[in-house]
Amino acid sequence: MYNNYTYFLSMDVKLDKWHKCQIDKEILKELSKKSDLKGFQHVSVFFGLIILTGTLAFITWGTWWSVFWFLVYGNIYSFSNPLWHETGHKTAFKSKILNEIFYYISSFMSNFEPIRWRYTHFVHHGNTYSTDNPFDHEIEYDNNLKETPKRLLINITPFLGLFFFKKHIAFEIIQHALGIKTKVMQDSIPESAQSKAIFNSRIYLLIWLSIILWAILATSWLPILYFLLPQFYGKTLHKLVAFTQHAGLARNVKDHRLTSREMYLNPVLSFLYWKMEYHLTHHMFPTVPSYNLDKLHHHIKDQLPRTNEGLIDAYKEIIPAIMKQSKDEDYFLIKDVPQLQNV
């Protein structure tokens, strides 16, 4: 485990070079306050939904209703990713210990090895959508823009990712567990931390194999459906939401208004997503807890490009953009930015 000082010593995170919207310092200070109570309320409801839908899937096992409830369970389970993200920023709770505990829990649920993703996320924030050095490994779709529509289809279609397993993040964990130092490890993780990433990957692999052994001994698919496959059959909703963050937007520029997208969501999706629909606002002010992002957005929205009115509105601009990018990698969606500067 590392503290923020260690991260910044080992990584080039220079957010001061990025454009920031103007906001009163006292307002920002107030909105940056963290709360253990709000964090507990959120995770309690989230894990309560997982337990409830998982129980309904078990009760109806052997019927078609079980298929329905496992899809619901999986799609809720996959929103462990926003929990990983919020605890990674240490903003879900005021308590550092609670943030760290739930960071490791949600990392496992998301198939994220915690050391690797902690470092790459700092690169992501300091060099959002960068194809230069350092490379932003978190935006998986920018490796080859010609493949973006195909990769989106794979990610939102239940079980299809199993047929492209080498492209899945779980395969990277297996590589690291075997001691293979992948490009992302060499690019993003300091040598001093690589052994810990490899160790964690081996723990993950051991747990996965134990779950498979449990399923074999129990002659039941249930352990695998509950703990191994949710990120393969239940990530449709999360991927549809998360893909909007940067898709079709500019690369290699120091202005989050050009590289990140802001949109509104209904209360249910907003809750599951930890309000990361205010993603542009989050990138500008990453220390503000998610439960205050809507308030922060209200204060700076006049300085931002138009906020998309939900998923459908967002995809009306995303789909044409990624189709054009699949033919012309130099193309990007030009947002109407108020008082454009510092690009």
Percent of the chain with pLDDT over 90: 78
Q: Answer yes or no: is pLDDT of 7 > 80.
A: no
Query: According to the model, what pLDDT value does residue 5 have?
Result: 30
Would you state the pLDDT for residue 134? Answer: 80
State the pLDDT at residue 13.
46
Structure tokens at 119: 């470092």
Q: What is the pTM of this model?
A: 0.90
**Using CB atoms within 10 A of its CB, is residue 178 exposed (0-12), middle (13-18) or buried (19+)?**
exposed
Number of domains comprising the chain: 1
Nearest to 39 by CA among 1, 77, 96: 96
Q: Across the chain, what does the average pLDDT equal?
A: 91
Q: Which residues contact 223 (CB under 8 A, 6 or more apart)?
A: 211, 212, 214, 215
According to the model, what pLDDT value does residue 296 have?
A: 97
> Reduced to 3 states, what is the DSSP secondary structure of residue 278?
strand
What confidence score (pLDDT) does residue 1 get?
Answer: 30
Decide if 123 contacts 136 (C-beta within 8 A). yes
Q: Answer for the pair 271, 255: CB distance below 8 angstroms, yes or no.
A: no
Residue 175 lies in a domain: yes
pLDDT of residue 10: 36
Domain for residue 121, yes or no? yes
The pLDDT tens digits of the residues spanning 126-173 come to: 888 888 878 888 885 445 788 889 999 999 999 999 999 998 999 999
pLDDT score, position 165: 93
Closest Cα partner for 209 from 61, 103, 217? 217
Q: Which two tokens stand for residue 171?
A: 């395969």
Range of the domain at 197: 31-325
Residue 308, strand partner residues? 263
Residue 330 in any domain: the answer is no
Contact 239, 168 (CB under 8 A): no
Neighbours of 221 (CB within 10 A): 12
Q: Positive or negative CA dihedral for 232, 236, 238, 240?
A: positive
Region of poorest pLDDT, from 3-17, 72-86, 154-168, 293-307: 3-17
Please report the pLDDT score of residue 144 as a whole number: 73
For the chain, the first-to-last Cα distance in angstroms comes to 35
pLDDT of residue 167: 87
Q: Which residue has the higher pLDDT, 250 or 229?
A: 229
Write the CB contacts of 282 (distance below 8 Å, at least 6 apart in sequence). Answer: 260, 276, 288, 290, 293
Distances (CA, A) of 323 to 3, 148, 254, 271: 41, 8, 24, 30
List C-alpha distances in Å: 247 to 160, 168, 338: 21, 19, 20
Q: Is residue 13 part of a domain?
A: no
> Is 191 among the domain residues?
yes
18 within a domain of the structure (yes/no)? no
Q: What is the pLDDT of residue 142?
A: 45
Q: What is the mean pLDDT of residues 232-236?
A: 96
pLDDT of residue 126: 87
Q: By C-alpha distance, which of 30, 4, 21, 24 is closest to 291?
A: 30
Confirm whether 1 is domain-assigned: no
In this prediction, residue 140 carries a pLDDT of 59
Looking at residue 340, its pLDDT comes to: 54
- Structural domain includes residue 17: no
Give the whole-number percent of the chain exceeding pLDDT 70: 93
pLDDT digits over 268-322, tens only?
999 999 999 999 999 999 999 999 999 999 999 999 999 999 999 999 999 999 9
Tell me what pLDDT residue 147 has: 86
Cα 125 from Cα 132, distance rounded (Å):
14
Per-residue pLDDT, 25: 94
Provide the pLDDT confidence category of residue 14 given band limits of 50, 70 and 90. Answer: low
